[in-house]
Amino acid sequence: MRTKTRVSRTVTQLSVLAELAYRGLVDHTIVCRHCKAGAPCAVRLGLNKAWKKLRG
Ligand SMILES: [Zn+2]
């Protein structure tokens, strides 16, 4: 029981982090002129990687 609660809380925290990472990614693509132009962007790649990692 106790273990189950801890696991579900961990999942929730991860999904919150994934949400934040996704928002950061979206915010970046809005303000970044490279992303807006559809050009390769190292920052976007990094944010995207972090988001996918957190999302699982
Ligand atoms: Zn960018």
- Going from N- to C-terminal start, the domains of the chain cover 2-55
Quote the ligand 1 centre to 16 CA distance (angstroms). Answer: 23
pLDDT tens readout for residues 15-56: 899 999 999 999 999 999 999 999 999 999 999 999 999 988
Quote the ligand 1 centre to 10 CA distance (angstroms). Answer: 30
Quote the ligand 1 centre to 13 CA distance (angstroms). Answer: 26
Three state DSSP letters for 1-56: CHHHHHHHHHHHHHHHHHHHHHHHHHHHHHHCHHHHCCCCCHHHHHHHHHHHHHHC
Quote the ligand 1 centre to 47 CA distance (angstroms). Answer: 9
Q: Is the pTM of this model over 0.85?
A: no
